[in-house]
Each structure stands twice: as structure tokens, then as C-alpha cells.
Chains A and B, each alone.
Chain A
């Protein structure tokens, strides 16, 4: 510790002067004693304290680090860091379609939604039962016919029901009796007033039966309250609702299965069973197809070629129709291809961010493939050079591949393919070459034959640079490179094509490197940046809270000390109460309450600071009051009063400056403890929340039992920063206390 004696120095100085001027100095000469201003005396004493200097320097460094550091540092506190890495990732998904997708043929026909929604399960039950057609009545009362037109293609038709006949051994519903209005609503023919009277006489609340004209009728509770369905006893006879078609028709109808179509005399009929053991025969005239269902998906020969709706419908109807159709399509495909090479592939491959590199969370193929083909991919490209023109196409089964239909233009060049094995890129877009699709499909067929789980193939896919972008040559053409691919089975009808690709990842838990000095954390945030911002928040919280404490404390303590009497009594009782409130439990409760109300992180920060300030003012108030009480009795205050100074001047010019030293010391120490409390709360997850960085929560995020050892390089420096900041504040506070009042009790 540097020590010098004031007297020694003064003597030396005097000696020097004497040498020059040879002037005798008087004992009472004012120049003999050098008087420092009180502030400079405090400064001098403070500078002598090594620990206080250490604290001051630490704090200056800490402030520069936290408040100036972020200005010069490249990353923000919630800026996600990405990286590119080469990995075996799903390149494409292939699915054997089992679902049928519907295309509307006739948009003018209004249909019942539930009748259409059941189509897939209806088709499945048809396949199981080996039926080729199915007739059912929808909830709207209309007849629906589902017909297998060709392989993997069904049509759904709709028509008005036209009942031709009825038969069966079950009771026949005659009508509905309304117990309130005492009326009968007949199903078919009106049985007259006498029947209504008989029904009214015999209806006894819960049911029952009655005789009418030799037939037995029974009641069953109807759908609405106080209504009854009236059933006649079984009528074995074959009833016609029009022309009597004779016994041959009856045999044919009774032989036919429910829901199936049978032909009689060149007309089509279907048997429906509206109730158990009762059957109705409907004619199927006037039935019109309005939907076509297919398992086929379109693969265009030119990659990502958009197809018009008329093209799709034309192709689908041509499958079971005449085999050729006319539709709008893009025929000048070269211009389109050029366009694609520039835009589509590049765009689609580069926007892919894989959050989880482990491959668990790959986009599920179902999500892409169950969509109607109209939505997969094609719509995203809007080629400028492409024009839809009318052209004629033919549909024919492929010569090379089974189960594939080829759509060719008039001159025989293949234009698109229809198949049930759908291959799409891993992001769901249809941007794969047809050749690659063929190759993959052939491998899958081979795998299905040999029952293999995976097969390898080599194919050229666009080359990627280390940022995952496509590479072009000087002329702007895409560069391709040979790539090893693996086709692997995922489920019975799903396959995945894996290839090595460069993908963009969130760079989680990266080790320290030159770009990220402290590495990155679990959210891909730069740790050093977060340490800086965390320091900012910790220091800021400390200052705001201490300012609030001092503000409340000075006002309350000042009032109590200056006015005394009942004001003093009241304030001091309040101080007693706040002294007794347990700080940490209350802060934990406040934090939990803010959690429960899902408060915004910024509002939360303010509430937290306010709560800490309100909990901490009592100590300052007590200190200020004590000081003012003792100062009030001193002579200088009596003098101030005697000179007639106004009250405000007495308080702020004479009392407050004298309280300042203790206040500053107390506030400096308070800063340290506030930072400590804040970091503890944040560590517990009850203080400042993600994405705002704070030292406490940073430690919490990597200090779990599993990660503690691995990420010690993150949490140990952060913990030391908290320690050093708090120690520094305490040293400075201690040093200030000693400097302000060297004789005081420490």
C-alpha cells in the first residue's frame, strides 16, 4: 500500500521553496497546510484501497463488455446460427398409393358430402367383396353408384331414386303417426280417415298394435317426441310401383345382392335394403357420373410441368373411355425447361432447413402424398415462356412398365405418365426427373419381388456447394454429379430414397471456434453474444431496482425522519412489515404467478424489477431516517432553521447531501445483492425469460445433470462473471464506506 506522509511532502516542498526564495515561513501561514476538498479526500482514501480499485476496474471492464461489447460483436442475443453439413438425408419419398383421390367431373351436380366422403372406404369394401359396382342411398335421398371403370379408377354417379318394386319378409313401414296433432303421414298410399281413427284409438303412449281391415299394425316410437312409426305386418308379396315386370324379374331381383346392379331386359336395376329384411328395387336410368376417383398420380416427362385441370380430367376419363382426349397443355416444353433449371430446383432445394439433423423428424410422406396431385408442386412454378394450348393426347398402358399408363401427344412422344407409385422430393415438391423416378420405381419393383429391404443406385443429381446451393457452370447451366442413393423400405407401401446432401441446420451446441468464441447453445444462439446481453440485463436490472429502492426509501425515510411524530410512527411500522416479508419466497410466488398468466417477456421484466424494488426499500428507508434523525439535532440544522431557510431547501441542500455517503454505500452493496437475486430467480426459471438472455438462465440451460460436464465451458465462465460482478460491487461499496468515514465501524 502506497503510503506517504503529508507532513514529509510539505516539508520537502517548503524546503524547495526556501531554496528558491530563501523566505522564512510563518507558523500560521495558510500555504503551510494543503487543504483538500472533502470530495478529493474521499477520492484519495478510496484510491489507496487496493480491493476497491480491483472492484472498480472489474466493474469498468464488465460495463464495457456488457454495454459496448454488443456494439462490436457480430451476433445478437436471439440470432439463430445456421450451419451447412453434408449428410445422408432423405432425398425423396415414394409411396404406393392406397387412397383414391377424387376429381370433379361435373361441378353442377350437388352431392351429399357424407356420401362422397365415404368413397375410399366404400371402394375398399367393394374390393374385399369382389364387387365392381355399388349402389347406395345418400342422406339426401338420392341414389349414388360407385363403379369400377378401369384398374385403379372408379366413377361416382348420382341420380334420383326411382323405385320399381319392393319385397321382403320384414314389417313394412306404412306411415308416421303424430301423437300431438293426431295425424298420420303416409309413406306410400293414403289409407284414409278410418285408419287414422284406428291408429288414434290404439296408440297408447309406448307402442302397442292394432288390427285394421284384417291386417295387423304395430307402433314403434319414432324419431321425434310423441311420434310413432306404424308398421304393417310382413307382406311377402312382390309389390310393384309401376309396371309389373313378371316373375322373371322377381327371381332376378331376389337373386341380386344388396347394392349390386343387375340387368333385366336391357335396363339396369339395383336392390337396396332400407330396412332389415325389406328390399327395394330401383331403376338406374338418369344416373350421371360426377366424380372420378383414381389412385393414379401424374408424372410429367418434363420435370415440374404444370398440368391443367382439363388435362387431368381428360386423361382420367380416357383411361376407361375411348383412350384419347383433347385438353389444354403446355407443348413448347423447351422454354419451360430452361425456366425451371433457373428457378425451380434451385429455389426448392435451398429453402430447406432441417431443424433436427438426426432424421427422426423428417417430414412425413403422408403429408405430401395424400394431397390431390393437383396441389403437389406444379403450382409453385409460374413459367413465363409457357403457354397452354389445345392439343390431343392418347392414353395407353406402358410397354416397359406394368401398371403404368403413358400419355402421349399426337406424334407419339410421351408427355406424361400415370402410375400409382408416387415419388416426390423430401420437401413434398414434384421436382424429380422422370428418369430418376423410373430408376427408383424399377428398384422398388425389384425389391418387392425379392423382398429386399434396401437397394442402392447411382444417379446424377444437381451438385451442391458447401452452402447447399446448386452449382452452375459459366453458361448458367446446372451442374450434376453422380450420387450414391439408397432406396429403403419404410413401411409396407412407403419407401425412402436417401442420398448425401448438404443441408442447412441450426448450429446447436457447437464447440468454440473462431467464428463463435464460446460456441453456441441449445437454440443455436451465439453464447458470447448472449453473455454480453445477459450482462446488460443483469446490470440494468440491478440499477433499476436499486434506483427504485432508493427512490422509495429516500421519500419514506425522509418523511419519517424529518417530520417525526405520527408520520414517523406510521412509516416505521410499514418498514417493519416489509422487513418481515420473506424476499425469496415472495419473488418465487410472483415469478410463478407471471408464469401462470403467460406474461410477455418484456412486461415480465418490468414487473420483476418493480417487485424487487418494492420488496427492498425498507432497508434504505430505515437508513435514511436514522441519518436524518441524528442530523436534524445538529447545530448546522438549527442554524439553517434560524436563518429562515425554507423547508425544501433545508431538506435538499442540507440534509440529503449529508445522507448521501451512507446511501451510496448502501446502494452499491445493494446492486451486488440484487444481481445475485435476479440471477438466482432466472436460474430457477422464474425471472427473466427466454429469448432474453440473462446469466442465471444461461447457466440453467446447460447445467442439467447430463449436460453439466460437457458444457462446463459455458456455465463456469458465466457463473464466474456473476461472482466477479457481485464481488466488485461489494468491494467498491466497502471501499466507499471506508473512504467516506474512515473512523466508522466497518
Chain B
């Protein structure tokens, strides 16, 4: 197991190096003298801490943009290994600082969403599987399909129209109510933020619920058609026990696998939802950085996301082996 994990980690690291090379190439081919103009712009920005030459120097030191593609990439790799990601152009401070300021907002959003998702999708999926071809199965199928097919921006606009414009229950955007937030107690502040999290949580839950429900239903159907379930029914085990004791436990194996794999993605942030709702999480920071061509922060964020993806895959494989004793890692 340990040997397998180490092997996979090494393999992931190699993949990561190549992934980052592609991303670096993308940054490298930014339209001509983009970096110079950007540095000039940064130096003239109000509150600028560095002159254009200093910005350029920093950039070349860390990102090697003035060298060839390969040499430059290794320059970047060297500073990245030393965890030196430089200063973000958009936020005018160290990338890691922006990251640590914002990551927990995204994490909170994703944790709540995942919790809700599990609570809703798994029971619905099981229910649908038990009544295959029944009404609830049809309903679940159509519902999950609608959720999968829903463009997030459209759902967000509809939610905003209903709850923010028509009913005026929540604000259109933002994390806090700027009029009253400062006057609230600590618990009041928490509630204020929680109120602003309601619509984003609904959005992400609706969008991600569909695939988990379909997955649960498929797995449950497979388990229900297996021989040991028929045996259990044949020997007169009560249906409740058949479902929850025999079938559900076996359905859990693949579920644990994919949910465990998505644990790391709790940190990845929701780019569009955070941007449209004005949540100051990592997703919004990355979106705004990417749109203005903030190379340091974009590189940092993409590296972060890639690491999360690779770790997620690794974790899913390991959990699969851990949850199902029949699976052997090689």
C-alpha cells in the first residue's frame, strides 16, 4: 500500500510537471510585450509598491519570461519548488497571502454544499433505484438531468431575480451587508455571512446534485440485481433490512470512493458562482486574476488546482482499496 502510494505520488508529480509546462507555455505566448506594458501599468497603479523595473525584475527572476521557453520554465519550477510564487499583479501582495486570506471562504461554501448534496442525492438515488421504472424513478431521472444541464449562470440569475430583486430577502452580491455588518455581534456577523451564503449554496448544490444521484441510482440498481440480494430475499430477510443492511452497504463502496476523491476539491473554489455572487473566495480571486492576465496568481492557482485533481484521483484509488477488501492495488 505504502509502496503503491509512493509510486503514484511520484507519478503524479511527473504529470504535474508536464501540466504546468503546458500552462507555462500558455502564459509565455501572451500577446507580444504584454509583460512590459503590464509592469508599467502596475507601477503607475495607485498604491503601487514597486517600480516597473522592479516588477519586471521580480517577474523575470521567478518566471524567467525573458529567457527561452524551456529555460524559463525551469526558472519558474525552481522558485515554485521553493514555494516562492511572487506577488500577484491584481492583488498587489504575495500570492500565498491572497490564498490564505480567501481559501476558507471557498472551503466553507464547498463543505456546506457537499453536506447538502450527500443528504439529498443519496436518499433520492436509492429511492429511485428501489422503484425502477416507477414514477419516482422517472422524476429522479428527469430532475437529475435538469440539474446536470442547468447553466450555473442562468440558475444564479433566476435565483437573484426571485430572492434578491422580487422578494428582497437577500442582497444581489457580496459577502456581508455593509450597512449593518460592523455594528453586529460576532454571532450576528456569522449569521450575516451565512445569509449571504444561502443562494451560492443552493446554486452549487443544484448543479452538482444530479451526477451524484445518478451514480447512486446506477450503483444501487447493480447491487439490487446481484445474487446475494436475491438470496437474502429468498431466505425471507425483511425488505428494509435487505435494502439498508445488505444493499446500501455495498452501494457505499463506490460512493465513498468518489466522495473521498472529491474531498480535496473542497478547496478548489467555485469560479463562476463566487464571481457572480461576489463571494471573496479563491474562485473569485482566480477569476479576476485570470481576466486581467495576472500571470503570478494564475500560475499559482492553476498549479493548486492541478495538485488537487491529482491528489483527488490518488485518494479515490486508495479509498477504493480501503473500502473494498476485494480490490487489490498493484
Q: Are B149 and A727 in contact (CB under 8 A)?
A: yes
Q: Are B291 and A588 in contact (CB under 8 A)?
A: yes
Cα(A584)–Cα(B151), bound, Å: 13
A680 touches B153 (CB 8 A): yes
Q: Is the CB of B157 within 8 A of A723?
A: no
Known contacts: A582-B306, A676-B151, A696-B153. The answer to whether A589 contacts B290 by CB under 8 A is yes
* Contacting residues, chain A, for B19 (C-beta < 8 A): 577, 580-581
A–B complex contacts, Cβ < 8 Å, 12 sampled: A577-B15, A588-B290, A592-B293, A596-B30, A679-B151, A696-B153, A699-B153, A705-B165, A705-B172, A719-B151, A722-B154, A746-B218
The answer, yes or no, to whether A684 is at the interface (CB within 8 Å) is yes
User: A588 CA to B146 CA in the complex, in Å?
Assistant: 25
Whole-angstrom CA separation of A646 from B1 in the bound complex? 45
A715 located at the interface, meaning its Cβ lies under 8 Å from any Cβ of chain B in the complex: yes
B81 at the interface (CB under 8 A from A): no
Assuming the A-B contacts A680-B272, A730-B149, are A686 and B154 also in contact, with contact meaning beta carbons closer than 8 angstroms in the complex?
Answer: no
Pick from B34, B218, B291: contact of A686, CB under 8 Å:
B291
**Which residue in chain A gives the minimum CB-CB distance to B138?**
A51
Closest to B295 in A: A589
Interface string of B22-36 (1 = CB under 8 A from A): 110011001100100
- Contact mask for chain A residues 567-580; partner B; CB cutoff 8 A; 1 contact, 0 none: 00000010011011
**Cβ contact within 8 Å between B153 and A585:** no
Flag if A581 contacts B306 (CB, 8 Å): yes
Does A712 make an interface contact (CB < 8 A)? yes
Known A582-B309, A592-B292; contact A680-B34, beta-carbon cutoff 8 A: no
- Give me 13 other A-B pairs in contact (C-beta within 8 A), A708-B160, A709-B166, A719-B154 excluded: A51-B145, A580-B16, A580-B306, A581-B23, A584-B272, A585-B298, A586-B23, A589-B27, A589-B293, A680-B153, A708-B165, A709-B161, A709-B165
Q: Check A715–B157 contact: CB distance below 8 A.
A: yes
CB distance from A589 to the nearest CB of B (A): 5
- Chain B residues whose C-beta falls within 8 Å of the C-beta of A716 in the assembled complex: 158
Contact with B272, one of A596, A684, A731 (Cβ below 8 angstroms): A684
Write out the residue numbers on chain B whose beta carbons fall within 8 Å of the beta carbon of A703.
157
CB-based contact A680/B151 at 8 Å: yes
Contacts of B310 in A (CB 8 A): 580
Quick check: B305 and A573 within 8 Å, CB to CB? no
Residues of B1-59 whose CB lies within 8 A of A: 15-16, 18-19, 22-23, 26-27, 30-31, 34
- A350-384: which residues lie under 8 A (CB-CB) from chain B? none
Instruction: Tell me the complex Cα distance, A581–B22, Å.
Output: 9
Interfacial residues of chain A within 669-692, with CB under 8 A of chain B in the complex: 672, 676, 679-680, 683-684, 686
By a beta-carbon cutoff of 8 Å, the part of chain A in contact with chain B is 1, 51, 573, 576-577, 579-582, 584-586, 588-590, 592-593, 596-597, 672, 676, 679-680, 683-684, 686, 696, 699-700, 703, 705, 708-709, 712, 715-716, 719, 722-723, 726-727, 730-731, 734, 745-746
Q: Which of these, B22, B31, B218, B275, contacts A596 with CB under 8 Å?
A: B31
Q: Which residues of A contact B173 (CB under 8 A)?
A: 705
The residue in chain A whose Cβ has the minimal distance to the Cβ of B214 is A746
List residues of chain A with CB within 8 A of the CB of B182: none
Task: Name the residue among A584, A585, A588, A672 with the largest chain B CB count within 10 angstroms.
Answer: A585
Docked Cα-Cα span, A573 to B221, in Å, equals 34
Q: How far is the CB of B170 from chain A (nearest CB, A)?
A: 13
- Distance A599 CA – B173 CA, assembled complex (angstroms): 32
Interface SS of B by simple majority? helix
Residues of B near A672 (CB, < 8 A) are 149
Main secondary structure on A side of the interface with B: helix
Note all chain A residues with C-beta closer than 8 A to B302.
Answer: 582, 585-586
Among A582, A588, A590, A680, the one with the most B-chain Cβ atoms within 10 Å of its Cβ is A582
Q: Which of chain B's residues 275-326 have a Cβ closer than 8 Å to chain A? A: 275, 286-287, 290-293, 298, 301-302, 305-306, 309-310
Q: Is the CB of A723 within 8 A of B150?
A: yes
The answer to whether the Cβ of B141 comes within 8 Å of any Cβ in the partner chain is yes
Contact among A1, A51, A699 for B141, CB-based, below 8 A = A51
Instruction: Report the separation of the CA atoms of residues A346 and B307 in the bound assembly, to the nearest whole angstrom.
Output: 71
B275 proximity list for chain A (CB < 8 A): 684
Q: Counting CB contacts under 8 A, is B198 at the interface?
A: no
User: Which of A588, A590, A722 lies in contact with B151, CB distance below 8 A?
Assistant: A722
**Docked-complex contact B148 and A699, CB < 8 angstroms:** no
Quote the shortest CB–CB distance from A574 to chain B (angstroms).
Answer: 9
Q: Which of B142, B150, B271, B305 contacts A588 (CB 8 A)?
A: B271
Distance A709 CA – B168 CA, assembled complex (angstroms): 12
Give the nearest-CB partner of A722 in chain B.
Answer: B151
**B136 at the A/B interface (Cβ < 8 Å)?**
no
Contact residues in A for B150 (Cβ distance below 8 Å): 723
Determine if B151 and A712 form an interchain contact, defined as CB atoms under 8 angstroms apart.
no
How many Å lie between the Cα of A202 and that of B85 in the bound state? Answer: 67
- Interface residue from A585, A696, A708, A715 paired with B286 (Cβ < 8 Å): A585
Chain A residues in 8 Å Cβ range of B306: 580-582
B156 CB to closest chain A CB (Å) equals 9
Given contacts A577-B18, A709-B161, A746-B221, contact A585 B271 (CB under 8 A): yes
**Closest partner residue, chain A, to B150 (CB atom):** A723
B residues within 8 A CB of A726? 148-149, 151
- Interfacial chain A residues near B153, Cβ < 8 Å: 679-680, 683-684, 696, 699-700
Q: Could you say which residues of chain A place their CB within 8 Å of the CB of B157?
A: 699, 703, 708, 715, 719
On chain B, the residues within 8 Å of A577 by CB distance are 15, 18-19, 22
Contact among A589, A699, A746 for B298, CB-based, below 8 A: A589
- Check B222 for interface membership: any CB of A closer than 8 A: yes
Mask of B219-243 contacts with A, CB within 8 angstroms, 1/0: 0011000000000000000000000
